[in-house]
Amino acid sequence: MLSITGLNQFYGESHTLWDLDLTIPEKACTVLMGRNGVGKTTLLQCIMGHQKVRSGSIQLQGQEMLKESVEQRPRMGIGYVPQGRQIFPLLTVEENLQIGLPVLPRGQRRIPDYIFELFPVLAQMMHRRGGDLSGGQQQQLAIGRALVVNPQLLILDEPTEGIQPNVVQEIGDIIRRLNQEMGLTVLLVEQKLPFARKVGDHFCILDRGRKVAQGGMDRLDDQLVKQYLTV
């Protein structure tokens, strides 16, 4: 579904991503892993157009994305849940969900019912301000907002960060449901190894901006964990 080839990215003169090749298979969950500062979030921001790319290619279903604007990329079928959630605290839950609706054709600009089936708490809090929600509820809102555009690819940047354990489990169950039952392709940045093993089908490990390992989740062995993931 998503194909990244020869990607190079710089912050000023600092070379951040090095000749990165990565394929995200359709209808599977791929977990992007690595220690802090190795380029995981930068890669997601390159995909979404928030960071400029020096060279390389990012294609979604064979269509080159790098020539598309930031505003156009969700229209290509991508839902994005950024690190830290980034909901609008002074807007209501309903208004936060409506943010993505202009991406859709005029006749389809409504919040899908299945979002409230996945996250019943959002239906109960439609008129509450986003800033008044708990961290876990805000994360559910952020995921719901990404799903409003009816994406083919859902990208999540550390969705379990700062979330209470019971909500972490719920989010894991929802990711698997979206992936396995609804056929949504998922690209996930995740630091928690048990969560990654629970939801992931494939993994890719970055180290210093380079891809150093990838494969099915059954190939994520103790040696790789110790070498590239343990702090």
Give the tens place of pLDDT for each residue, 49-62: 999 999 999 999 99
* Average pLDDT value for residue range 100-121: 92
Type of residue at 47: I
> Residue holding tokens 């630091």?
191
How would DSSP label each residue in 180-204? IIT--EEEEE---HHHHHHH-SEEE
* Crossing angle (nearest 10°) for helices 135-147 and 165-176: 20
pLDDT tens-digit readout, 186-207: 999 999 999 999 999 999 999 9
CA distances from 15 to 34, 44, 108, 154, 197 (A): 17, 16, 42, 27, 30
E-strand stretches of the chain: 2-11, 14-24, 29-33, 55-60, 63-64, 78-81, 153-157, 185-189, 202-207, 210-216
Q: How many residues does the chain have?
A: 231
In order of their start, the domains of the chain are 2-229 (3.40.50.300)
Of all residues in the chain, the percent with pLDDT exceeding 90 is 93
Mean pLDDT of the chain: 95
- Per-residue pLDDT band for 231 (boundaries 50, 70, 90) equals confident
For residue 137, what is the enclosing H or E element?
helix 135-147
User: Looking at the predicted structure, is the pLDDT value of residue 109 above 80?
Assistant: yes
